[in-house]
Structure 1
Amino acid sequence: MLAVLSGGGTAGHINPALALAEELESRGWDVRFAGTPAGVESRLVPAAGIPFAAFEASGFDRAHPASLAKGVAKIAASTSKAKKWFGEIKPDVVVGFGGYVCIPVARAAEKTGVPVVLHEQNSVAGMANKYLAKKASAVCLTYEGSAASLPTAAPVTVTGNPVRRSVIEADRVAGRALFNLAEDDFMLLVFGGSLGARHINEALVALKDELLARPNLHIVHITGPKELDAVTGALALAPDEARRWHLMGYQDRMGETLAAADAIVSRAGATSLAEISALAIPALLVPYPYATADHQTTNALAWVESGAAFMMPDDALGGEEFKEKLFALVDDASVRAKMIEAARAQKTGEAARALADVVVGAARAR
């Protein structure tokens, strides 16, 4: 059996696809990936050992009508190219994870009688999934509430957001060894996504003295590449302080780093939330306020309502409430225990298996 997975634009579309690929391959399936030639998927997918095919696709700017014609032309050309490719590889199912490239790939599947399964990572569905949902064979969601934004008559299954095995199976002992942590040290992980988050960085810097007053507290602070110099300068860590405040612009061993953490301050992107949930790490979430349709806030609310996290608006960082929630997370073991229990109840670690079951079912029903 052969599955074609498709997605593009952000790692948030690609990581769950790679997690599904791992699950399908463990069941004896072959997997191919269709993405854009210059998107992040063109790097991540081949690095994972999955055959990659490139298709041009782009969105459009309502303020510039010419961009619509250009986008439509790219989609039409890529649909024809994908149809020809399908004739060669004969897929049993196509799975779309979002991004404009999914449109020509899924349209080619529809034209050749190949079932299409969609997965929506966020609480608010993206444009490509909204467009494709009308003809999909099955739709899978991370959040039950996002069904309202998808016009579909297909069966809808809440699977959760798949997480790669490199995260789920990451070793805590190895992760803590990265930062020379003793077993009784407490690790607070702070990160703002791949680019960092200036307001989160500034809020943590302002609490430097109070954080370091806790003798067993270590802060692993991933600032984002562009923020590292500014944060380093603002903290002005003495050598003994730098032993417990681990600064870095980027971390490519996030699985082990997450496994080592006792608590987290982070944005509320789909991948970050899925990984935090899969490892049941107590968290204080700070949604990125300019995400499309403010979907990170909606994402975070689901975890807050379940009891798995605290949340603070970005514009309230540095205030007294942020400080209270941060130190409740760090100082109160009972708060963390309740969050861990709530996160485990979400069963995010089983999401790849649940999505694969739907994909296999769609292929067999063809």
Structure 2
Amino acid sequence: MTAKLKVAIAAGGTAGHVNPALALAEELRQRGHEVRFYGESRRLEGKLVPAAGFAFTPIHVTGFDRERPWTAIAALTNLARTEGRLVRDFKRDPALCPDVVIGFGAYIEMPLVRAAAKLGIPYALHEQNSVPGLANKQAAKDASLIAIAQPSVAEAFEKRGAKASAVQMIGNPVRASVLDGNCERGRETLGVPRDATLLVVFGGSLGAHHLNERMVSLKSELLAIEGVHVLHSTGADDFEATERALALSDEEEARYRVRPYIDDMGDVLAAADLVLSRAGASSIAEIAALAVPSVLVPYPHATADHQTTNARYLVDAGAAKMCADADIDDRAFAELVLGLLRDADARAQMRAHAEGLGQARAAERLVDALEAIARPA
């Protein structure tokens, strides 16, 4: 049995960083390890981490604007100050000093991983996307483990001096609340019959507008397929306009549900027969973990078009189809979505391919890898 470890985690800024970190923390806690998060108290992690019952130490860093290079001076000064404070804290209090550290890619990780390196504590990085972020690239050279969720990103880290042996294809951890999704419970909550075919559509608050417009134009054709039900999450910013444009009758509302967001994603994905979505890292991870057949429309303005590379992970595995945002108004896109809704056998094959990726075990694999690199307690 692995000795109980003290694990320090730095993750912050967005749900795409924080939720995989919380999924890891849940698995660590289940195995009896001690977990402490480091992040900004005024940002998302400052709410989600304490709410999940994990210890949280506030730290403060400032980024810099590449278009205003002089802001780097203040950022580096603040980084050095926070790093120094962590070094002193870890030296002064052995109970606080971690056995292993992991950062999830946001700039908030830098003082923690640098303090770990200075004290000889092994540290790991986790990269959710197919294009590595700046913080992870800067910290890659001395990392004992770089856990990736997209095979294509390995080369980018090796070019930054990372040891090839340190880079491992782990996947993107998904929280237990999603993994525990239940089809029957989801359908009962949504009022969708067991024998219906459920299409779930979501684009997130960023870049959902074009998908929402296309769904409006396809409403009649979707509902013309016998037994098809739709759950359409518009994103908060586009909800009222999309609801007006759909102009659902009472009869249509029985089969077409529109929401600003989905807050019970585990049950919804478990209930879905087909998903239509963007291709953010968290969405890809959750879709793969629950093995839902999907049609992916990458957000066209993502940095370095990383959502297209994210999508290829599922497409190349045979678990998804992909369509460029510029092409979703074409007839071919409509035929793709409508055809999959009519073809249960094609969806079953896609589901089997998704299950073969083993994404549901990403958190377990990451804990295994951390246990392997941690210094002896």
Question: TM-score, length-normalised on structure 2?
Answer: 0.94
Counterpart position of 1:220: 231
Distance in 2 between residues matched to 1:121 and 1:98, nearest whole Å: 8
Distance in 2 between residues matched to 1:76 and 1:139, nearest whole Å: 23
Equivalent pairs: percent with the same residue?
46
In the TM superposition, 1:188-203 aligns within 5 A as: 188-195=199-206, 197-203=208-214
Distance in 2 between residues matched to 1:41 and 1:28, nearest whole Å: 22
Asked if 1:117 is matched to 2:117, the reply is: no
1:130 to 137, 156, 160: 137
Unaligned runs of 5+ in 2: none
- Structure 1 stretch displaced more, 110-119 or 271-280: 110-119
2:84 to 80, 84, 88: 80
1:360 to 336, 361, 371: 371
Cα deviation, 1:195-241, whole Å, max 9, x if unaligned, reads 46001111111101101112311110111111110001100011111
Matched letter for residue 318 of structure 2: G
Counterpart position of 2:59: 55
Distance in 2 between residues matched to 1:197 and 1:67, nearest whole Å: 33
In the TM superposition, 1:286-365 aligns within 5 A as: 286-364=297-375
Unaligned runs of 5+ in 1: none
- Structure 1 stretch displaced more, 327-336 or 272-281: 327-336
Distance in 2 between residues matched to 1:73 and 1:171, nearest whole Å: 49
Matched letter for residue 75 of structure 1: L
Distance in 2 between residues matched to 1:160 and 1:50, nearest whole Å: 23
In structure 2, the CA distance between the partners of 1:10 and 1:212, relative to structure 1 (3 Å rule), is same
Q: Is the 8 A contact 2:99 2:376 kept in 1?
A: no
In the TM superposition, 1:108-257 aligns within 5 A as: 108-150=115-157, 151=160, 152-153=162-163, 155-195=166-206, 197-257=208-268
Asked if 1:270 is matched to 2:277, the reply is: no
Cα deviation, 1:91-123, whole Å, max 9, x if unaligned, reads 111011110001111001111221101111111
Q: Is the 8 A contact 2:122 2:375 kept in 1?
A: no
**CA offset at residue 329 of structure 1?**
2.0
Question: TM-score, length-normalised on structure 1?
Answer: 0.97
Give the secondary structure class of the aligned counterpart of 1:61: coil
Distance in 2 between residues matched to 1:84 and 1:11, nearest whole Å: 30
Distance in 1 between residues matched to 2:62 and 2:153, nearest whole Å: 24
- Structure 1 stretch displaced more, 221-230 or 47-56: 47-56
Counterpart position of 1:106: 113
What root-mean-square deviation, in Å, do the aligned CA atoms of Structure 1 and Structure 2 show? 1.4
Q: Is the 8 A contact 1:206 1:318 kept in 2?
A: no
- Give the ranges of 4+ consecutive aligned residues of structure 1 lying more than 6 Å apart after TM superposition: none
Q: Is the 8 A contact 2:41 2:47 kept in 1?
A: no
Matched letter for residue 6 of structure 2: L
Asked if 1:18 is matched to 2:22, the reply is: yes
Give the secondary structure class of the aligned counterpart of 1:264: strand
**CA offset at residue 85 of structure 1?**
3.5
Counterpart position of 1:46: 50
Distance in 2 between residues matched to 1:67 and 1:313, nearest whole Å: 37
Counterpart position of 1:33: 37
Matched letter for residue 100 of structure 1: Y
